[in-house]
Amino acid sequence: MEIDFLIIGQGLAGTAMAYRLEQEGQKVILFDQAEKNQSSRIAAGLFNPVTGKKMVKSWIAEKLFPELESFYTELERVTHKQFFIRKSIYRPFLSIEEQNEWMGHSSDPVLDLFIEKIFTESQHDEIRDPFGGVLLRHSGWLDIKTYLDSMTDHFGESVKSELFEEELLEKDGEYWKYKGLRARGVVFCNGLDALKSHYFSFLPFAPVKGEILEVQQGFDPDWIINRGVFRVPLEDGVFRVGSTYTWHDLDLGPTESAKNELLSKLENLVRVPVEDIKSHRHGIRPATKDRKPFLGKHPKEDGVYIFNGFGAKGVSLIPYFSAMMRDFILHQKPLDTEVDIKRYFKYI
Ligand SMILES: Cc1cc2nc3c(=O)[nH]c(=O)nc-3n(C[C@H](O)[C@H](O)[C@H](O)COP(=O)(O)OP(=O)(O)OC[C@H]3O[C@@H](n4cnc5c(N)ncnc54)[C@H](O)[C@@H]3O)c2cc1C
């Protein structure tokens, strides 16, 4: 069968890439082993314009956030499902100095875009926020399971739930052949499996393990609370609490130490006891050494591409960069040098 592109992986990256190409009339086939997914199907799905200990604007947030809103709402219309959940994020201040700093931030036009309100006093008896906090907008979470399952249904027979065996991929003139399929190109959106790939294992991935809990707790404001740990309201008094970051123990499953770390950070944020731990999961983020994604074409093989390395922020990075990648593949537009894998060609 003649097609345009083979897409390897239907996590957040492969899903967006396939949709972008399909929108331009390209015939795609996706290979995915959802049950082996290590990242998208574990993730909390948060999108948050202000991140890190120092609470600074996320990298290029002013470009990413308008794109992610329009992308996921378009896909909600296409699939007739709801998975894009807008919710303000409340970040308590740690000191009066921080409160003052944030009052100053309101005059920064870019940061102000993301500030809904600044509070100088505690907002809830249940939250440990003696200095008040900042309420952020253009934030929320993506219900990733619903999103990915809806998109699998949308792609229909174009998704093959089977292992893609890279060693069976063969060059055929200007085309690539794989088990009876002939494609113009192959886009690897295979997350950390890229480390085993003959084509892209030279790229410096830096996998980061994360653990996440779902807990029952009797305090249900209409906000995500985030400081050291995030607490996302789900349904019926259940909250998702995460995530840890570790660069070792990648092969171990969920650990007692990560569970205790999350519970202790949650206690520092909210004064209400945890009634029950509903689940405890772990995954590995496909992060990169320079914390920038990997986009581009293989240095020698025409038609072989990678769209990967979205680390801890796939939900917010992928809508914007999948449009850039589509324009690169189909319209020969250049990629931003910061994300182009050419930055590593000198190390091959
Ligand atoms: C605990 C945790 C919490 C997180 N929280 C957030 C968050 O709140 N917000 C956020 O934006 N990001 C979060 N992330 C990060 C986010 O999950 C990633 O950025 C994103 O999911 C990466 O998507 P991906 O499609 O590149 O990779 P993956 O999700 O790993 O997808 C790759 C897919 O390719 C398939 N595949 C690979 N090789 C083959 C093969 N040979 N044949 C068939 N299929 C194959 C895999 O099975 C998998 O389904 C979190 C991650 C973790 C682990």
Higher pLDDT pick, 215 / 58: 215
| DSSP SS3 for 12 | helix
**Contacts (Cβ under 8 Å, ≥6 apart) of 271:** 125, 126, 127, 128
Token digits of residue 206: 């830096």
How much is the pLDDT for 156? 98
Dihedral over alpha carbons 150, 155, 160, 161 (to 10 degrees): 0
Domains and CATH numbers, the chain: 2-43+145-203+292-347 (3.50.50.60), 89-136 (no CATH), 208-285 (3.30.9.10)
CA of 208 to the centre of ligand 1 (A): 12
Residues in the chain: 348
Nearest C-alpha to atom 19 of ligand 1 is from which residue?
314
Kindly report, residue by residue over 265-309, the tens digit of the pLDDT: 999 999 999 999 999 999 999 999 999 999 999 999 999 999 999
Cβ atoms 319, 20 nearer than 8 A = no
Residue nearest to atom 29 of ligand 1 (CA): 40
Contact (CB, 8 A) for 132 and 94 = no
Is 90 exceeded by the pLDDT of residue 104? no
Rounded distance between C-alpha atoms, residue 181 and residue 203, angstroms: 27
Cα dist from 118 to 30, 106, 121, 283, 295, whole Å: 45, 9, 9, 34, 38
Measured CA to CA, the distance from residue 26 to residue 101 in angstroms comes to 49
- Which of 17, 29, 40, 167, when mutated, tests ligand 1's pocket best, judged by the most ligand atoms within 8 Å of its CB? 40
Which residues are near ligand 1 (CB < 6 Å)? 8-14, 31-34, 36-40, 42-46, 163-164, 189-191, 193, 210, 212, 242-243, 283-286, 308, 310-316
pLDDT digits (tens, 9 = 90+) for 35-47: 888 899 999 999 9
Q: How far is the CA of 247 from the centre of ligand 1 (A)?
A: 16
What span, in angstroms and rounded, lies between the C-alpha atoms of 301 and 278? 47
Closest CA relative to residue 241, chosen from 271, 208, 274, 209:
274
Pairing state between β 170-172 and 140-142: unpaired
Find out whether the peptide bond into 95 is cis, omega within 30 degrees of 0: no
Average pLDDT (98-111) is 85
Could you tell me the distance, in angstroms and rounded to a whole number, from the CA of residue 278 to the centre of ligand 1?
22
DSSP-derived 3-state class of residue 122: coil
Whole-number pLDDT of residue 50: 85
User: Are 296 and 306 a contacting pair, CB within 8 Å?
Assistant: yes
Contact 207, 192 (CB under 8 A): yes
* Exposure on the CB side of residue 95, measured as CA atoms within 13 A: 4
Mean pLDDT rounded to a whole number for the chain? 95
Residue with tokens 């219309």: 77
Q: How far is the CA of 97 from the centre of ligand 1 (A)?
A: 38
Confidence category of residue 238, pLDDT binned at 50, 70, 90: very high
**What's the rounded mean pLDDT across residues 89-107?**
90
Name the residue type at position 165. E
163-209 pLDDT, tens digit each = 999 999 999 999 999 999 999 999 999 999 999 999 999 999 999 99
Beta-strand pair 56-57/50-51 = antiparallel
- 90, 135 in Cβ contact below 8 A? yes
Q: What is the pTM of this model?
A: 0.96
Kindly give the distance from the C-alpha atom of residue 24 to the centroid of ligand 1, in angstroms, as a whole number.
25
